[in-house]
Amino acid sequence: MALPPAVSLQTANRILSLGRSTGYGLAKRGEYPCKVLKVGNAYRVMTADLQRLLALEEAAEEPATAQAHRGAPTREEVARGCCCHCRCRPPPDS
């Protein structure tokens, strides 16, 4: 998380598990999954876009029931023992 506002394409490729050729090819065609700036001969990837993309991937991997719940827990949630009021998991073992 301690990244500068923009990172090299090589760094972004490593974070996204993309090979060098694939990453540069996507950037050249304008198909890279994050915003890419061309500065001279170098490509720079915006860190904020990269972090948003990673957050979306993490959210897609979570079950649908793990979506955040706003407000106080309902009686049903308390009865089920939900620890975080989001209906996602039982309370930790004490």
DSSP state of 40: T
The more confident residue out of 21 and 73 is 21
Instruction: Tell me the per-residue pLDDT of 1-52, one tens digit each, with 9 for 90 and over.
Output: 577 899 999 999 999 999 999 999 999 999 999 999 999 999 999 999 998 9
**pLDDT score recorded for residue 24:** 94
Residue 80 pLDDT > 90, yes or no?
Answer: no
What CA–CA distance (Å, rounded) separates 94 from 91?
9
Domain boundaries, the chain: 6-61, 63-94
Query: What predicted TM-score, i.e. pTM, was given to this entire model?
Result: 0.57
8 φ/ψ angles, rounded to the nearest 5 degrees: -65, 160
- Opening angle at CA 21, ends 41 and 46, nearest 5: 55
**pLDDT score recorded for residue 65:** 47
30: which 2 tokens?
Answer: 């304008």
Q: How far is CA 34 from the centre of its chain?
A: 11
